[in-house]
Amino acid sequence: MKQSAASKPSCCHGKAVYKIAALTMFSESIEPVFMKRLYQAIILAGCIISQPSFASSCTQGDLTHIWISPRVVKAGAPINVMAVSGSETVTELVLTHPKGEKQVLNATANDGMPWHLSAQIDKLDEGRYQLEAKDKDTTLACHEVFNGDNGTGEHAVWNDSYEAFYSAWIERLFDAPVDQSLSFRSLEPVLRDSERNFLHNYLGLNEDKALPATPDCADFPYFLRSYFAWKNGLPFSYRACSRGTAKKPPACNLATIETGFVQYAAPPATFKTLSHTLMDVVHSGNGRTALTSEATDFYPVALRRETLRPGTIYADPYGHVLVLVKWVPQTADSPGILFAADAQPDNSIGRKRFWEGTFLFGNSGSAGAGFKAFRPLANNRTLLSNDELPDYSIEQAVLEPDDFYAQLYKLINPDGLNAKQAYEATLTALVEQLETRRQSVENGEDYFRKKANTIEMPKGAAIFETIGPWEDYATPSRDMRLLIAINVLLGFPEKVVRYPELFNLTAQSAAQVKTRIEQLHEKLTAEKKVQYARSNGEPWELSVAEILARKAAFEMAYNPNDCVEIRWGAKAGTEEYTSCKRHAPEQQVRQMAAVRDWFRYTKRPPR
């Protein structure tokens, strides 16, 4: 989408030459100082006359804002443009050149809330340019661009424009075709990709080249938000929180407001210092605070399309956190999708779709779970209270899991679901989950190729929350979610009968559709495959049907001290199992057997 905005050097003096020449014959009778001022006035008038295509008033809109990257525009260097609106459709980006000619930029749009339109210009010559964001013939925002321009030309303040920009930045960062499995070993390749990261090298310091970016799931939203604040010169707040108890959600201390990014381009070292502090301070308890609490980094939002924007987090009752990244609208041919991204203990990043197998929900006295947004800093100084937040809502506190999922599916698919499409989407989500698990298990194998030491297993419920190699390479939380996902897929035919209002059943009865889905399930689970590398390096393929049949084996398949074959449910005595050479110590096997019911009944213990 690169395009040139190059033109000849801007000079409008020639337009005024004839006027100056006409005055020259009278110059001897005019005072020199007055004559000099008259020349300047005529030249300025000539400039204005020569640029009739410039907007008479070029300002950012009330609802739409044009953003430029990098922060300081340099002659001959490419610039990225993004027009963002929280409530208006942006259909066109128009660049007016120094001589007045207009150019409609080749731009890429999203599907809204917030709406954004992005383009890249390969270079700007000397002179003054204007960028207009338009909806058909209506100008929504205008921004003047020139070499040395510092982007917005304004003091950065957290407001609706920056919140919408944050959402648009997040969406672009994790964008990919719907059918593409999106995963990364860490956040580093994401931020270093100038096509994804609108803020790449935004400060002009080559600041992203060697920037460490390895957050885990709890750090992930904090890293993204603080990175955005750093690049834009905004303050950032966070709190130290407890982890809560079996009967009480986590509670937090007073907020720390970091202002080291404000008013100047802070070097990477300043951001690194903050990110290290965040990794030491924040944890899963920060996202699980009570929905009614004021002393929190996040607040619960209403379950509406306009409030569940990219950048909103989802905190499940057990401590996992996801960040919403994209809404895909429902069409006549395909169901809608709500995508989120998350980080794992091994620092890998993946994109996942909303469904019961990924977004675990439940009302618990130990956690305030659900969708939440960062608590805003009013005027960059004061955190807003719940009463001051227009989209604050505790409706999630009174929803049972079935009602919660039904409400979200209605938002994602407002026209109802085609049962076949919905089943296929559920199966696809399970396969995506299996693929990300494959990578996590492989990471554990990499560890043992480099080190032969047995990984110590924590006691009791600590298997879900600990630090060190067990957190990095064991998969108890992931396998708990996998078992839930398997139950969801297996229970899908019955769901059609229990909740027929969610589906477009047309002329068929719920019982008839259930039978069709059962037949489809048998066919597709036999066709869908997942492949892993055995201990001897040879690939081994499993159908989804085979994995479903191994459901019980996955209740004790999370220990990285076991060989990869055991972790994929292989039985002793089979050809698949023959390459297995590593086993968990007997004491650890007894520990797993003692807590197996947690996985069999997919119920994590209270803290």
Q: What is the mean pLDDT of residues 197-216?
A: 96
- Alpha-carbon torsion (30, 32, 38, 39), positive or negative: positive
Residue 317 CA from chain centroid, whole number: 20
Kindly state the tokens that stand for 85: 């609106």
**pLDDT greater at residue 20 or residue 189:** 189
- Tell the residue number behind the tokens 């050809």, with chain if given: 575
In what helix (H) or strand (E) does residue 487 lie, and over which residues does it extend? Answer: helix 476-490
Q: What is the pLDDT of residue 247?
A: 86
Q: What is the pLDDT of residue 38?
A: 42
User: Cα torsion at 75, 76, 77, 83 (round to 10°)?
Assistant: 70
pLDDT tops 80 at residue 148: no
What are the two backbone dihedrals, phi and then psi, of residue 564, each rounded to the nearest 5 degrees?
Answer: -65, -30
pTM of the entire structure? 0.84
pLDDT tops 90 at residue 92: yes
What are the two backbone dihedrals, phi and then psi, of residue 103, each rounded to the nearest 5 degrees?
Answer: -135, 120
Kindly state the tokens that stand for 177: 């075709």
Per-residue model confidence as pLDDT tens digits over 156-200: 999 999 999 999 999 999 999 998 989 999 999 999 999 999 999
**pLDDT greater at residue 310 or residue 244:** 310
Q: Is the peptide bond before 70 cis (omega within 30 degrees of 0)?
A: yes
- Indicate the pLDDT class of residue 150, thresholds 50, 70 and 90: low
Q: What is the pLDDT of residue 365?
A: 79
Residue 265 three-state SS: coil
**pLDDT greater at residue 232 or residue 34:** 232
pLDDT tops 60 at residue 24: no
Per-residue model confidence as pLDDT tens digits over 118-135: 999 999 888 899 999 999
Q: What is the pLDDT of residue 385?
A: 95
- Mean pLDDT (the chain) is 89
Q: What is the pLDDT of residue 3?
A: 55
Q: What is the mean pLDDT of residues 584-590?
A: 98
In whole angstroms, how far apart are CA 320 and each of 313, 317, 369, 370, 554?
10, 8, 10, 11, 20
Q: Which superfamily does 64-157 belong to?
A: Purple acid phosphatase-like, N-terminal (2.60.40.380)
- Which range in 44-48, 104-108, 363-367, 418-422 is most confidently predicted, on average pLDDT? 104-108
For the chain, where do the domains classified as CATH 2.60.40.380 start and end?
A: 64-157
